[in-house]
Amino acid sequence: MAFNKFRVLFSLLLINLTIFSVLAQTNEINAVRDVSSSLNQFALHLLSATTDQCGDKLNLAISPYTVWSLMTIIAEGARGNTARQLEDVLKIPSNENKDLFRHNYKSLTKYLLQRADSVQLDISSAIFTTQEQELNRTYQAITKSYYGVDVMPTNFNNLVQAVDSINSYVSRATHNRIQKFVKIDDIIDAQIFMVATLFFKGQWKAPFNETFEDTFIDEFGNAKGPVKMMYQIGPFPYSIIPNLKAHAIELPYGKGDRMSMIVILPRKGEPLSSFLKQLAELPFSTVLDTLESAAEEYGEEDVQVYLPKFTITSDLNMNSVLDQMGIKDVFNAETADLLGIFPHYLYVSRVIQQAKIEVNEEGTVATAAAGASISYKSPPPKFYANRNFVYFIVDKVTKSIIFAGKVTNPNTICDFCAKKANSK
């Protein structure tokens, strides 16, 4: 009798512990999504500002996550107006109020690194610093504990050796996808070099099994050349987004419900630059919530999907883009205040990013070193991406944008955006 009573009490205890665990996890995810909201706001503005720099006609691949992470790590050592500008653009709290943000950032990293079937995501951060200098101990402890930053002592007096060290780190972190990230010109007179990397590889939950030749057009219907168009039909979340006057579709990776590519197709006649400005004024959750509602309402309804195969490489100097967004003082040797990093006057000479993405029938490989109502759908709807579109790779659990870009000509590998973005 006593044994049965103990068994009942033990079972109730397990139930209570399970409920507590679920509630704790729910609270943590909600807190992480607050951080993701800051990331996503920055991501949309970064994509819009980079498009302004590169122009509507060029393809683009960027990792907002790595740029945001890198600048957030720099912000930890910024003071005065330099810090205020970074905090305003990055949508993060001030250093005096950042403890909760730091914990939530660390939780975000934990969720992003959770393994999922047929999906691989690796992220890392490192600070390369001269052997003669020492980082501020508080700064080093914070960036190591919350941001997972590795400190790599580097001899910047030997520029060839320093370049090799940085490039070797980035090459390993991106599975050899990015092998020549920096050149000697990038680190001349450097006292410190920071890097954030991301590697993503995902297989489509439903691979495309049919490819045919088609013509890619611009927003006005003018032909831009032939393209290999992939096709399939299946029950994908799809909806018209009235606030944007655009179509959006979600293409999941793997067997779970972890990572997806969101493709947004603006209406005909809408330049991508003006469309991205509209998109940046909305919370990205508007798009995600609309697609989630569409999945619930039309879950079993098939959608015809036409998406071109494409490979894009973007090699960007982000200084002028970030300056346009409002981060100015940190790039100015006269005004930058980074005394929280080193006890010497420093400034950021350049922020560079190299990003690559390859989308084909099997899935996607991407690397980088940075309420709406639902319209009625007449079955079977058709999502035909044979004109300019934007794309986002999103972590569904945290609702975080980790990769983004635009496609204006799938046959062109964009390797000269950097010249235009660096023209300031």
> Could you tell me the pLDDT band of residue 26, with boundaries at 50, 70 and 90?
low
Residue 223 vs residue 91, higher pLDDT:
91
Residues 402-423 have a mean pLDDT of: 63
Q: C-alpha dihedral over 109, 112, 115, 118, to 10 degrees?
A: -150
Percentage of the chain with pLDDT > 90? 14
Lowest-pLDDT choice from 16-20, 217-221, 337-341, 410-414:
16-20
Q: Is the peptide bond before 380 cis (omega within 30 degrees of 0)?
A: yes
According to the model, what pLDDT value does residue 362 have? Answer: 74
| 3-class DSSP assignment, residue 138 | helix
Residues 181-209 have a mean pLDDT of: 81
348 neighbors 67 (Cβ within 8 angstroms):
no
The two beta strands, 303-308 and 382-384, are parallel
Q: What is the mean pLDDT of the chain?
A: 79
According to the model, what pLDDT value does residue 11 have? Answer: 54
Residues 404-418 have a mean pLDDT of: 67
414 neighbors 60 (Cβ within 8 angstroms):
yes
Residue 381 vs residue 396, higher pLDDT:
396
pLDDT in tens, 268-307: 878 888 888 999 898 888 889 888 888 888 776 788 888 8
Position 16 pLDDT exceeds 60? no
> Could you tell me the pLDDT band of residue 418, with boundaries at 50, 70 and 90?
very low
CA distances, 402 to each of 11, 44, 71, 76, 301 (Å)? 41, 11, 15, 21, 28
341 neighbors 192 (Cβ within 8 angstroms):
yes
pLDDT in tens, 169-183: 888 888 888 888 888
According to the model, what pLDDT value does residue 365 have? Answer: 59
| 3-class DSSP assignment, residue 356 | strand
CATH number of 59-202+312-356: 3.30.497.10
pLDDT in tens, 334-369: 888 888 887 777 777 777 777 777 777 776 656 666
pLDDT in tens, 52-106: 887 777 888 888 888 899 899 889 989 999 999 999 999 998 877 788 999 999 9
Q: Which of 4-18, 27-41, 376-390 has the highest average model confidence (pLDDT)? A: 27-41
Position 404 pLDDT exceeds 70? yes
Residues 405-420 have a mean pLDDT of: 62
According to the model, what pLDDT value does residue 88 have? Answer: 95
Residue 148 vs residue 29, higher pLDDT:
148
